[in-house]
């Protein structure tokens, strides 16, 4: 790597460092460990001779692989019982949890077929409305956006005759 590229990469890396540390912190739950991951990404960047078209994308990929490797290598540690009443709720923890759950939910929804998405949304909204309404009121389901798909029994006779 020549000196000009090394200087460009250093500046670009320093600009990306907070984002990479934030990403690793959300996944690993440990800021110090996330800083270690960012440092390892820097060392990999410094040691590569590969042509990098998009440095932010390359750094995100390397950082992701590093923290996934770190997660795989973790062994469960026994923890003493923690008295949660001694600690006030932390808004940052709630935000981090919501982000993590949101990302996981998006991954799951992206893998569903359109019909499965409708079923999931209908079930989730019905469940949500049941929790928010008094029990004497029946749950309200959202209007159907398309006719329901035929069930397996009604579809199979058509498949045999068609």
- CA distance linking residue 26 with residue 34, whole number of Å: 9
pLDDT in tens, 89-109: 678 777 777 778 778 777 777
Give the other-Cβ count within 10 Å of 45's Cβ: 21
Are the C-beta atoms of 120 and 148 separated by less than 8 Å? no
Please provide the average confidence, as pLDDT, over all residues in the chain.
Answer: 74
Are the C-beta atoms of 116 and 124 separated by less than 8 Å? no
Exposed (0-12), middle (13-18) or buried (19+): which is 19, by Cβ within 10 Å? Answer: middle
| Annotated domain spans of the chain | 3-73, 92-133
Instruction: Tell me which of 50-54, 66-70, 88-92, 145-149 is least confident.
Output: 145-149
Are the C-beta atoms of 38 and 21 separated by less than 8 Å? yes
162 — pLDDT class (breaks 50, 70, 90): very low
CATH architecture of 3-73: Orthogonal Bundle (1.10)
């Amino acid at each position: 790597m020549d000196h000009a590229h090394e200087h460009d990469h250093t500046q670009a890396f320093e600009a990306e460092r907070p984002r990479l540390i934030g990403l690793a912190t959300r996944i690993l739950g440990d800021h110090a460990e996330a800083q270690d991951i960012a440092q390892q990404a820097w060392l990999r960047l410094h040691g590569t001779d590969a042509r990098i078209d998009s440095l932010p994308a390359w750094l995100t990929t390397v950082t992701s692989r590093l923290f996934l490797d770190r997660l795989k290598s973790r062994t469960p540690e026994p923890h003493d019982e923690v008295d949660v009443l001694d600690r006030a709720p932390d808004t940052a923890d709630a935000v981090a949890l919501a982000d993590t759950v949101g990302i996981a939910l998006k991954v799951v929804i992206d893998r569903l077929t359109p019909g499965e998405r409708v079923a999931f949304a209908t079930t989730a909204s019905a469940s949500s409305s049941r929790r928010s309404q008094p029990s004497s009121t029946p749950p309200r389901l959202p209007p159907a956006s398309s006719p329901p798909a035929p069930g397996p029994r009604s579809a199979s006779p058509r498949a045999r005759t068609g």
